[in-house]
């Protein structure tokens, strides 16, 4: 056996050497522990991702409330505290020694008290678990290499404290494996302390020694540094150096303890200091939408808010929370939106439906249960109580023909019958809505957001899962959420911030979404065309009424008869059979007045004909036709028609 080979490898080597097509070797794939060790080096993209993972852990631990505290805008410390079930010493030991080997979704989860004894995919209270592979806690490596865990379960007179110092991983200086092939990812110091309240429970993660680069990100230092750069920049270069409208303030670069411009004036927030946390967050959402009313056609969150506020916004979208003004399925939407139900099959058109005064979509169509999560879960970040910042009614008015949003709802369940679950990933079930609105604010909400069991690591995908049809204007007016209640989890990449597009569940959702987008476009065009037709008809009716008034006044004045009515006017085609006409009717040959014309008449032709009818009635009131032959009358009218059809330059 070579010195670099472990005994199992040497045994497999010998078996391979002695194998043949008639006696093949069967084995299993195994993972080098070095892959899992790299987790502590940070696989998440942004500091906000780490906070999201900690909140998700709290949700899985049956927490009712999570409180996140920072010392903004300094960001020297950060803590995440929940009132969940906490961790026993056994559960903590398993967590620390099995990075990437979560006990969730396994029989060990019930034994450790972190999963349901009846279904390992559920929390002890029955929530669908978000976490899967046991790396969420170590996402904090994105923020710091040093943190503390304080945890306690109900009934335990002691709380457990662990001080964790993560090892910085690098390929050049990779830690050597121990005798079992495992890698040292860091050092942990653990102790127990007597608790004042034996019935208390929960976990608190305290982050200290925040990484300098992370602190710079949280402070939006790059934005402020750019704004504070050389004041002698040319106007073309300085045009984009505009501070975010809303920000938490900043510290002086030369002294991290001093706030820029004083304590009372350094920040600019859309809520007041005395506002309740829920009111404060609602004001933040309202302030973003108000950008449309303030003349900003496409408000972008990255230009409106600094990084901290954007991070809070993204967190509110990612975890299971109620909506700021209620979710679309549970609101009484009668007459507020156009409503359509999307069919599960591709060959069927959407069905329009209406609600009664107090009826909801969930009541009428039994759709929306997958979106109804997080009602028993709250997340408080400093002075903000988070809710999902998505609204569906009372949107800003625009000059678009379609004034009301169009809401499409649908659901689908696919069993992938006749195909082995190993190839399909098993059953897929989801519900969804797509909303078309003249404006989507912020523009980062344009696209599709996919949630699995109420949570999401992804942001809105503006490509709608790589939709290739060129409908750019209309796509910018569509926002969509897909709520997956079964399946898709295997398609999530390890950071939960992207999907494996080759997975059958992603392929199926992609096809469904793209088919739905085509239906949305068709319906929206149809509604817009109908509204434009109604507007034209209403305008024509007003013009017709005005012309009729002029003609009627002339007839009454010339005949000295208050009840006099203008005579009817008809244009007959040469091929038309003679028909009885009302006495006094003026009848003319169409081809003599309008000339020989092929094809369908345009709106301009119809408008000219209506005006000509009124002119004929007006001329008749003054007896103009009495001295003219039929041919002269038609030539006169043909000339008037030609004048009416002369285009404006």
Q: How would you class 276 by CB atoms within 10 Å of its CB: exposed for 0-12, middle for 13-18, buried for 19 or more?
A: exposed
Which range, of 95-104, 151-160, 203-212, 622-631, averages the lowest pLDDT? Answer: 95-104
Distances (CA, A) of 286 to 206, 282, 310, 633: 32, 6, 15, 65
Provide the pLDDT for residue 179: 52
- Choose the most confident range, by mean pLDDT, from 235-249, 538-552, 562-576: 538-552
Distances (CA, A) of 365 to 349, 481, 557: 17, 17, 62
DSSP conformation class of 268: B
Does 636 score more than 90 pLDDT? yes
Provide the pLDDT for residue 376: 93
pLDDT tens for 495-534 read 778 889 999 999 999 999 999 999 999 999 999 999 998 8
Does 330 score more than 90 pLDDT? yes
Does 244 score more than 50 pLDDT? yes
Does 178 score more than 70 pLDDT? no
Residues facing 432 on adjacent strands:
410, 482
DSSP conformation class of 436: E
Which range, of 196-205, 272-281, 457-466, 470-479, averages the lowest pLDDT? Answer: 470-479
Q: What is the DSSP string of 542-591?
A: HHHHHHHHHHHHHHHHHHT-TT--PPPEEEE-TTSPP----TT-EEEEHH
Question: Is 612 in contact with 640 (CB distance < 8 Å)?
Answer: yes
Does 8 score more than 70 pLDDT? no
pLDDT tens for 60-93 read 999 999 999 999 999 999 999 999 999 988 888 8
Contacts of 49 (CB under 8 A, 6+ apart): 139, 142, 457, 495, 497
pLDDT tier at 339, thresholds 50, 70, 90: very high
Does 258 score more than 80 pLDDT? no
pLDDT tens for 91-139 read 888 887 766 555 565 666 777 777 888 888 888 988 998 876 566 777 7
| Average pLDDT score over residue span 225-243 | 63
Distances (CA, A) of 490 to 199, 243, 423, 493: 38, 42, 12, 8
Instruction: Give the residue with greater pLDDT, 237 vs 454.
Output: 454
- Choose the most confident range, by mean pLDDT, from 179-183, 434-438, 585-589: 434-438
Nearest C-alpha neighbor of 328 from the set 275, 267, 390, 268: 390
Q: Six-digit token pair at 371?
A: 């979106």
Does 262 score more than 70 pLDDT? no
Residues facing 160 on adjacent strands:
151, 192
pLDDT tier at 169, thresholds 50, 70, 90: low
Provide the pLDDT for residue 241: 63
- Choose the most confident range, by mean pLDDT, from 106-110, 225-229, 569-573: 569-573
Question: Is 218 in contact with 132 (CB distance < 8 Å)?
Answer: no
Provide the pLDDT for residue 1: 45
Distances (CA, A) of 44 to 47, 492, 623: 8, 14, 88
Residues facing 251 on adjacent strands:
259
C-alpha–C-alpha distance, residues 407 and 386, integer Å:
25
- Choose the most confident range, by mean pLDDT, from 34-38, 461-465, 606-610: 461-465
| Average pLDDT score over residue span 370-386 | 95
Q: Would strands 338-341 and 202-207 be described as parallel, antiparallel, or unpaired?
A: unpaired
C-alpha–C-alpha distance, residues 457 and 319, integer Å:
8
Q: How many CB atoms lie within 10 A of CB 536?
A: 12
pLDDT tier at 5, thresholds 50, 70, 90: very low
What count of Cα atoms within 13 Å lies in the side-chain half-sphere of residue 298? 6
Q: How many CB atoms lie within 10 A of CB 319?
A: 25
Provide the pLDDT for residue 572: 87
C-alpha–C-alpha distance, residues 311 and 389, integer Å:
13
Which range, of 17-31, 410-424, 522-536, averages the lowest pLDDT? Answer: 17-31
Q: Would strands 78-82 and 146-152 be described as parallel, antiparallel, or unpaired?
A: unpaired
Provide the pLDDT for residue 13: 75
Provide the pLDDT for residue 4: 43
Distances (CA, A) of 329 to 217, 358, 408, 512: 37, 12, 11, 20
pLDDT tier at 409, thresholds 50, 70, 90: very high
End-to-end CA distance of the chain: 94
Q: Would strands 186-194 and 202-207 be described as parallel, antiparallel, or unpaired?
A: unpaired
Which range, of 7-16, 165-174, 526-535, 596-605, averages the lowest pLDDT? Answer: 165-174
Provide the pLDDT for residue 259: 65
C-alpha–C-alpha distance, residues 315 and 328, integer Å:
20
pLDDT tier at 628, thresholds 50, 70, 90: very high
Q: Six-digit token pair at 369?
A: 């249960």
Does 402 score more than 80 pLDDT? yes
| Average pLDDT score over residue span 140-168 | 88
Distances (CA, A) of 159 to 9, 172, 199: 43, 39, 11
Contacts of 253 (CB under 8 A, 6+ apart): 221, 225
Structure-token match 């569509």, residue found: 478
pLDDT tier at 171, thresholds 50, 70, 90: very low
Residue-averaged pLDDT of the chain: 85
C-alpha–C-alpha distance, residues 434 and 565, integer Å:
54
C-alpha–C-alpha distance, residues 135 and 458, integer Å:
17
Distances (CA, A) of 358 to 341, 351, 353, 371, 539: 19, 21, 15, 20, 35
C-alpha–C-alpha distance, residues 649 and 627, integer Å:
36
Does 479 score more than 90 pLDDT? yes
Provide the pLDDT for residue 582: 73
Provide the pLDDT for residue 114: 79
Provide the pLDDT for residue 296: 87
Q: In what order do the strands lie in the sheet with 406-414?
A: 351-352, 338-341, 406-414, 428-436, 478-486, 447-452
Which range, of 329-333, 397-401, 627-631, averages the lowest pLDDT? Answer: 397-401
Does 38 score more than 60 pLDDT? no
pLDDT tier at 168, thresholds 50, 70, 90: low
| Average pLDDT score over residue span 477-486 | 96
Does 573 score more than 90 pLDDT? no
Q: What's the pTM value of the predicted model, to 2 decimals?
A: 0.82
């Amino acid at each position: 056996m070579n010195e670099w080979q472990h005994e199992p490898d040497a045994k497999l080597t010998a078996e391979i050497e002695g194998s043949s097509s008639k006696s093949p070797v069967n084995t299993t794939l195994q993972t080098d522990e070095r892959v899992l060790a790299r987790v502590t080096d940070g696989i998440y993209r942004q500091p906000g991702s780490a906070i999201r993972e900690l909140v998700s852990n709290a949700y899985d631990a049956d927490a009712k409330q999570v409180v996140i505290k920072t010392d903004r805008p300094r960001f020297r410390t950060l803590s995440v505290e929940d009132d969940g079930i906490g961790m026993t010493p056994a559960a903590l030991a398993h967590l620390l020694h099995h990075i990437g080997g979560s006990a969730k979704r396994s029989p060990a989860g019930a034994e450790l008290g972190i999963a349901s004894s009846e279904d390992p995919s559920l929390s002890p209270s029955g929530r669908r678990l978000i976490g899967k592979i046991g790396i969420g806690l170590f996402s904090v490596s994105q923020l710091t290499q040093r943190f503390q865990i304080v945890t306690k379960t109900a009934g335990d007179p002691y709380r457990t404290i662990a001080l964790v110092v993560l090892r910085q991983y690098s390929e050049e200086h990779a830690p050597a494996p121990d005798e079992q092939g495992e890698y040292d990812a860091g050092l942990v110091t653990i102790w127990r302390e007597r608790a004042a309240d034996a019935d208390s429970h929960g976990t608190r993660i305290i982050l200290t020694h925040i990484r300098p680069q992370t602190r710079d990100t949280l402070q939006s230092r790059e934005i402020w540094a750019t704004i504070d750069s050389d004041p002698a920049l040319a106007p073309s270069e300085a045009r984009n150096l505009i501070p975010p409208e809303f920000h938490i303030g900043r510290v002086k670069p030369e002294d991290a303890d001093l706030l820029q411009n004083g304590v009372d004036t350094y920040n600019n927030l859309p809520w007041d200091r005395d506002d309740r946390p829920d009111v404060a967050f609602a004001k933040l959402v309202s302030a973003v939408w108000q950008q449309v009313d303030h003349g900003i056609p496409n408000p972008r969150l990255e230009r409106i808010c600094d990084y901290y506020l954007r991070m809070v916004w993204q967190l509110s979208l990612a975890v299971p929370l109620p909506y700021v003004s209620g979710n679309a399925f549970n609101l009484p939407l009668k007459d507020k939106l156009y409503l359509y139900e999307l069919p599960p099959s591709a060959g069927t058109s959407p069905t329009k439906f209406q609600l009664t005064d107090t009826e909801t979509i969930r009541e009428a169509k039994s759709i929306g249960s997958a979106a109804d999560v997080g009602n028993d879960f709250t997340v408080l970040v400093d002075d903000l109580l988070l809710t999902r910042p998505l609204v569906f009614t009372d949107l800003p008015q625009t000059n678009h023909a379609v004034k009301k949003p169009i809401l499409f709802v649908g659901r689908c369940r696919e069993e992938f019958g006749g195909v082995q679950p190993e190839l399909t990933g098993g059953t897929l079930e989801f519900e969804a809505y797509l909303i078309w609105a003249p404006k989507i604010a912020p523009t980062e909400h344009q696209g599709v957001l996919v949630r699995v069991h109420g949570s999401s690591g992804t942001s809105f995908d503006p490509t709608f899962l790589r939709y290739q049809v060129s409908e750019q204007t209309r796509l910018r007016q569509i926002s969509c959420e897909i709520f997956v209640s079964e399946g898709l989890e295997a398609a999530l990449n390890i950071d939960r911030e992207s999907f494996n597009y080759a997975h059958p569940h992603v392929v199926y959702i992609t096809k469904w979404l793209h088919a739905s987008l085509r239906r949305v476009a068709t319906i929206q065009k149809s509604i817009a065309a109908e509204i434009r037709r109604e507007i034209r008809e209403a305008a024509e009716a007003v013009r017709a009424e005005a012309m009729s008034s002029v003609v009627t006044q002339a007839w009454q004045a010339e005949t000295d008869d208050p009840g006099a009515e203008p005579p009817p006017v008809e244009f007959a085609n040469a091929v038309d059979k003679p028909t009885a006409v009302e006495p006094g009717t003026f009848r003319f040959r169409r081809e003599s007045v309008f000339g020989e014309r092929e094809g369908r008449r345009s709106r301009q032709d119809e408008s000219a004909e209506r005006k000509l009818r009124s002119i004929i009635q007006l001329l008749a009131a003054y007896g103009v036709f009495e001295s003219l032959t039929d041919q002269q009358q038609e030539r006169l009218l043909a000339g008037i028609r030609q004048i009416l059809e002369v285009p404006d330059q």
